[in-house]
Each structure stands twice: as structure tokens, then as C-alpha cells.
């Protein structure tokens, strides 16, 4: 469970007008950036439901792009992001869809570049967000914790191998969730930890046999 | 101290046992929970307070319209009129109304504001703390105490009710902001912990059932003017509480009533823009005009 804070109530310092539709959009963009790790050549933002209908008036489109390009929720560049040189090096487009199976404020980042990836997230209220899916895998990334994401072959002992490496760094695990396509197929692990994640831990996790993909997703700073 | 202060009853008991003020208890708890010093907590609050004040200053000097073109020039209109004919209730009233409007207009211009508790209710707490402090020449440290007090009120209410129009209507956004603001005023004016909590309770009790039905789904109509109304509303609550007038329904029970009211409210009135003002004849025309 989330550690509640005074600053959940009297923060953040942000670009208006909406916690969920503007600040939330920026935060989703930042998390997508932290997962993808580089600037993609091309991104298609697919906005659903309320994000699709009222997004423009709330600058949701600007917020998503700004976050992906590394701006924070309090940046005064969000408003003019489409005109700034920063956004000229990336191809971007927006699609809009009504879909009752998706959250009212849902977005897909369809990222193309050295690798292709689809990252899905929701803005769940008061500026809080969650990344719910990377490609076909369920995730639970809220940005409140530094998080290790890995995809690997579903087989016995994987959790133990990874958690041993984390223990060796004297890092405390706050939560751990796994998901898989089917028995013996590709699985995903989502580990939230207290404190920082050293790069060597990511390297050693990558070296575990049958681990396909590892990411260190930094927590949101504000 | 019980680390989990999630009701007004627990908060008040803690004040009595420790002899500390609400802000002292909260800043200590925040420092403990997040392994930082009290000074660091206060500096974060100071930073937010300064950002609130710069939003007010910028807003006072702008007439820029929002993306929709519906709002943005109303703080200017207030200022013009007060220059010609002062407000009936005097300078404090003028300042609160202008500061609340200025902050909300900065918000819809996509400029920088501080969510308090949300962006759609960002005008209430800053306008009241700033205007009252200017009137009584209250020092920044005391404004910080007041802002932490306001935050504590919101913190406790949000233990039960999420601060989002989509969950519980506007009572959970502007309503909570006015409760926070009422408590902040009592703190600024030297009231005791019980009076602070009572002020918040009285403010909240009077906005139960407030709907969230914004035209075209934008944080503009009725949000901008509602911030102005509820800023003044919080002063009324503070005046009552400072006179030791108490809510006959205890604070935590009022929050329970708020939660139940939010659950009973139709989803059409909870940030979906499918009911109320949003679907009036004019609301629909404006929506078509903006959305094209």
C-alpha cells in the first residue's frame, strides 16, 4: 500500500489545468520514457474515452509528449511543446478511440525505433498514474517506487534468483508481482524497491539465463 | 504516537496528549515517514507556498483566454470594478476573490499552479492564506504552519474519500479545499486545534452533494467561479468556529456522510459531463463550439 503524504494534498507544483488530464499525462509520458530508455524515432499516442474527448482542452496531448521528451509536470514548456525544437526530432501523432473496456483516462504509447514497444497506462485521479501493460504483459508501475521490470522464460527458481541478487545489494523489496502468457512461456516480473537501484544490479539480472529484458524504471520525482 | 492518524478524533486526541499544534504533529509525522528532517518538510511547503503566490501575481496581470476561449478575463473584470467601486465587504474580500480567480485563470491558461488538493480547486487555499496574511502582516513561517494545517485536513478526509470529482463529485475537490482553507484561517488567526477541525467540518458540511458537471469536460465552467465562492465560504466557517460554534455532527461523521453522498451521487454528476450544467441547452452548444 502506498505511504500517504502531506504532499499528496498540497502538491504538485504543476502546469494546469487538470491533475488527471495534464499532470497525469506528463507523468505517464515520463514513465514511458523511463521504460523505453531512449527517445523513439516515432510515437503514436492512442487516447481513450475521456482522454480522447476532453484531452485537447486539457493539454493531454501536450502533456504526454512533454513527459516522453523528459519535461516534468511543473515545466512551463509544456504549453508550447509542439512549437519547441525539442519536439522536432521525433515523429508523433495522436489517435482517439472510445472503448468501454479501457479506463476513462487511458493511453497507449506505440513506440517505434531501435526496438518497438507498446506501453499502456491510466491516469487514475488527482495526478496519480499507473502503467498497466508493456507489450502483452501486465505491469503495475505507479512511479512511487524505483521499479525493476523483467521479462523471462517461465520456469522454477526465477524469482529466487532475482531476489537473491537484490538481497545481495541489501535492497528491500516493497512489492513483487508476476504475470505470464502461459506455463513455460514468457513471463514478467515487476519489483518495487526502497532506495536506489544500482546499474550493476540490472547488469547481473540481465546475465541470468533465460532473462530476455530488464529495465530499471526510476520513480517519479514530484 | 500512533503513526496512522486517519481520523479527526485521533488527530485531536494527539493534540491533547502531546500539547502540540496540528501542523507540528503533521510535520513530525511527514519527516518520520519519509526519513527527512522537519526543516526539509517545511522547505518543501515553503517552495509550494511561493509557487502559489507567483501564480496569483501572474494571474492578477493577465487577460489571456484559455484554449476554449471561454474564460480568462474575469479577474481583470473584478479588478476594474473594485478600482471604481470597492467591495461591500472591504479589501480582504476583494483580495480573496481576485486571488482565487487569478489562480484558477492561470490554471486554465496552462501556466504553473499548485494542486491543492487538485488543479480544479487550486484557487481556494492560496487565495485565503495569502489575503489573510497580507491583511494581518503574518510572517511566512506562520503561513507555512497554516498550509501544513490545511494539508493535514485534506490528508485526513482523503483517508476515507479520494479527492477526485470522478469519485465523489466536487465536494471532494472544491469542497475539501474549502475545508482545508477554513482550518488554515483559524490557524493563522491563532485558534486552537478543536476550532481548526470544527471550521473544516462546518465548511465541509455545507457543501455535501456538490456535483462535478463541467461544461465540455473542461476545468472551466463552473470550476473557476466556484473557487471564488468557496474561498469566501471558508471564511464564514472560520468565523463560526472561532466563536466556538461547533458542528452538532462530529467531524469524522461528516466525512462519512460525504463518502456516502459521493457513492449515492449518479455517475452522470461525477466528472463525466453527462449531467447537470454540462447537458443544459447552452452547455451542449458550448461543447459543440469548443469540440468543433
CATH number belonging to the domain at B20-147+154-291, selected among 1.10.3470, 1.10.540, 2.60.40, 1.10.4100: 1.10.4100
Whether A17 sits inside 8 A of B151 (CB atoms) is no
Among B125, B167, B273, the residue with its CB nearest the CB of A125 is B167
Whether B26 sits inside 8 A of A6 (CB atoms) is yes
CA-to-CA distance for B163 and B171, rounded, in angstroms?
Answer: 9
CA-to-CA distance for B42 and B29, rounded, in angstroms?
Answer: 12
Q: To probe the interface with B, which of A22, A51, A57, A79 has the most B CB atoms within 10 Å?
A: A57
Judge contact between B195 and B241, C-beta under 8 A.
yes
Q: To probe the interface with A, which of B52, B62, B112 has the most A CB atoms within 10 Å?
A: B112
How would residue B67 be classed by pLDDT, with cut points 50, 70 and 90?
A: confident
Q: Which residues of B touch A5 (CB under 8 A)?
A: 30, 33-34, 155
Spans of chain A below 50 pLDDT:
none
Q: State the CB neighbour count (10 A cutoff) for residue A10.
A: 27
Degrees, nearest 5: CA angle B266-A105-A213? 145
pLDDT one-digit tens code per residue, B86-136? 999 999 999 999 999 999 999 999 999 999 999 999 999 999 999 999 999
Residue of B nearest to A79 (CA): B110
Chain A contacts to B (CB-CB under 8 A): 3-20, 22-23, 50, 53-54, 56-59, 62, 74, 76, 78-79, 104, 125-127
pTM of the model: 0.91
pLDDT of res. B292: 72
What is chain A written as a DSSP string?
Answer: -----GGGTS--EEESS-IIIIIHHHHHHHHHHHHH-S--SEEEEEEEHHHHHHHHHHTHHHHHHHHHTT--TT-TTGGGGGGSGGGGGSEEEEEEE--TTS-TTEEEEEEESSS-EEEEEEEEETTEEEEEEETTEEEEE-SSSEEEEEEEE--TTHHHHHHHHHHHTTPPEEEEEEEESSTTSEEEEEEEESS---HHHHHHHHTSTTEEEEEEEPPP--
Contacts of residue B77, Cβ cutoff 8 Å, sequence gap at least 6:
none
Q: Which residues of B touch A59 (CB under 8 A)?
A: 67, 110
pLDDT one-digit tens code per residue, B31-44? 999 889 999 999 99
Residue of B nearest to A194 (CA): B34
Judge contact between B197 and B11, C-beta under 8 A.
yes
Please give the ipTM for the structure prediction: 0.94
A153 min Cα distance to partner chain B (Å): 37
Q: Which residues of B touch A25 (CB under 8 A)?
A: none
- Length of chain A in residues, anyone? 222
For A166, how many CA atoms within 13 A lie in the half-sphere containing its CB?
25
Q: State the CB neighbour count (10 A cutoff) for residue B128.
A: 32
pLDDT of res. A125: 77
pLDDT one-digit tens code per residue, A79-138? 999 999 999 989 999 999 999 899 989 999 999 999 999 999 999 877 889 999 999 888
Per-residue pLDDT for B45 more than 60?
Answer: yes
pLDDT of res. B3: 63
Whether A20 sits inside 8 A of B219 (CB atoms) is no
Q: What is the dihedral of CA A120, B270, B281, A49, to 10 degrees?
A: 10
Degrees, nearest 5: CA angle B55-B58-B62? 130
pLDDT of res. B1: 45
Over chain B, what is the mean pLDDT? 96
Per-residue pLDDT for B237 more than 70?
Answer: yes
pLDDT of res. A106: 95
Q: Which residues of A touch B50 (CB under 8 A)?
A: none
pLDDT of res. A4: 87
pLDDT of res. B291: 79
pLDDT of res. A9: 93
pLDDT of res. B28: 97
pLDDT one-digit tens code per residue, B138-175? 999 999 999 999 999 999 999 999 888 888 999 999 99
Whether B167 sits inside 8 A of A3 (CB atoms) is no
The domains of chain B are located at 20-147+154-291
CA-to-CA distance for B101 and B123, rounded, in angstroms?
Answer: 7
Per-residue pLDDT for B270 more than 80?
Answer: yes
Residue B38 touches partner A, C-beta closer than 8 Å: no
Residue B24 touches partner A, C-beta closer than 8 Å: no
Amino acid at each position: 500500500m502506498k505511504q500517504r503524504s502531506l504532499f499528496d494534498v498540497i502538491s504538485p507544483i504543476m502546469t494546469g489545468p487538470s491533475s488527471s488530464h495534464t499532470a497525469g499525462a506528463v507523468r505517464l509520458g515520463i514513465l514511458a520514457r523511463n521504460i523505453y530508455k531512449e527517445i523513439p524515432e516515432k510515437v503514436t499516442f492512442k487516447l481513450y474515452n475521456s482522454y480522447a474527448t476532453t484531452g485537447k482542452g486539457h493539454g493531454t496531448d501536450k502533456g504526454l509528449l512533454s513527459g516522453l521528451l523528459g519535461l516534468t509536470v511543473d515545466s512551463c514548456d509544456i504549453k508550447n511543446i509542439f512549437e519547441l525544437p525539442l519536439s522536432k526530432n521525433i515523429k508523433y501523432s495522436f489517435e482517439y478511440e472510445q472503448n468501454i473496456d479501457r479506463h476513462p483516462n487511458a493511453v497507449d504509447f506505440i513506440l517505434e525505433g531501435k526496438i518497438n514497444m507498446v506501453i499502456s497506462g491510466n491516469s487514475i485521479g488527482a495526478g496519480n498514474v499507473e502503467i498497466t501493460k508493456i507489450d502483452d504483459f501486465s505491469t503495475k508501475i505507479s512511479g512511487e517506487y524505483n521499479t525493476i521490470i523483467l521479462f523471462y522464460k517461465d520456469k522454477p527458481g526465477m524469482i529466487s534468483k532475482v531476489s537473491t541478487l537484490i538481497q545481495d545489494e541489501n535492497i528491500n523489496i516493497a512489492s513483487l508481482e508476476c504475470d505470464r502468457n502461459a506455463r513455460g512461456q514468457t513471463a514478467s516480473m515487476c519489483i518495487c524497491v526502497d532506495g536506489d537501484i544500482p546499474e550493476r544490479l540490472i547488469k547481473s539480472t540481465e546475465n541470468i539465463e533465460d532473462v530476455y529484458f530488464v529495465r530499471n524504471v526510476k520513480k517519479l520525482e514530484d | 504516537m500512533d503513526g496512522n492518524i486517519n481520523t479527526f478524533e485521533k488527530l485531536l486526541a494527539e493534540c491533547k496528549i502531546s500539547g502540540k499544534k496540528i501542523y507540528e504533529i503533521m510535520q513530525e509525522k511527514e519527516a518520520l515517514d519519509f526519513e527527512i528532517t522537519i526543516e526539509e518538510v517545511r522547505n518543501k511547503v515553503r517552495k509550494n507556498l511561493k509557487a502559489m503566490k507567483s501564480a496569483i501575481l501572474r494571474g492578477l496581470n493577465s487577460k489571456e483566454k484559455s484554449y476554449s476561449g471561454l474564460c480568462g478575463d474575469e479577474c481583470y473584470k473584478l479588478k476594474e470594478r473594485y478600482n471604481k467601486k470597492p467591495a461591500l465587504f472591504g479589501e480582504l474580500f476583494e483580495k480573496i476573490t481576485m486571488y482565487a480567480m487569478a489562480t484558477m485563470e492561470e490554471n486554465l491558461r496552462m501556466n504553473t499552479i499548485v494542486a491543492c488538493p487538485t488543479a480544479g480547486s487550486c484557487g481556494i487555499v492560496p487565495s485565503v492564506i495569502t489575503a489573510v496574511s497580507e491583511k494581518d502582516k503574518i510572517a511566512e513561517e506562520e503561513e507555512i504552519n497554516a498550509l501544513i494545517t490545511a494539508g493535514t485536513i485534506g490528508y485526513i478526509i482523503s483517508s476515507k474519500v479520494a479527492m477526485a470529482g470522478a469519485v465523489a463529485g466536487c465536494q471532494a475537490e472544491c469542497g475539501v479545499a474549502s475545508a482545508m482553507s477554513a482550518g488554515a484561517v483559524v490557524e493563522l488567526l491563532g485558534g486552537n486545534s478543536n476550532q481548526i477541525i470544527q471550521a473544516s467540518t462546518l465548511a465541509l458540511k455545507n457543501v455535501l452533494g456538490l456535483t462535478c458537471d463541467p461544461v465540455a469536460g473542461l476545468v472551466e465552467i463552473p470550476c473557476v467561479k466556484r473557487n471564488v465562492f468557496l474561498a469566501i465560504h471558508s471564511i464564514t466557517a472560520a468565523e463560526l468556529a472561532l466563536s466556538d460554534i461547533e458542528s452538532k455532527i462530529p467531524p469524522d461523521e461528516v466525512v462519512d456522510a460525504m463518502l456516502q453522498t459521493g457513492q449515492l451521487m449518479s455517475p452522470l454528476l461525477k466528472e463525466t459531463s453527462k449531467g447537470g450544467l454540462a447537458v443544459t441547452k447552452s452547455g451542449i452548444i458550448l461543447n459543440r463550439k469548443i469540440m468543433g
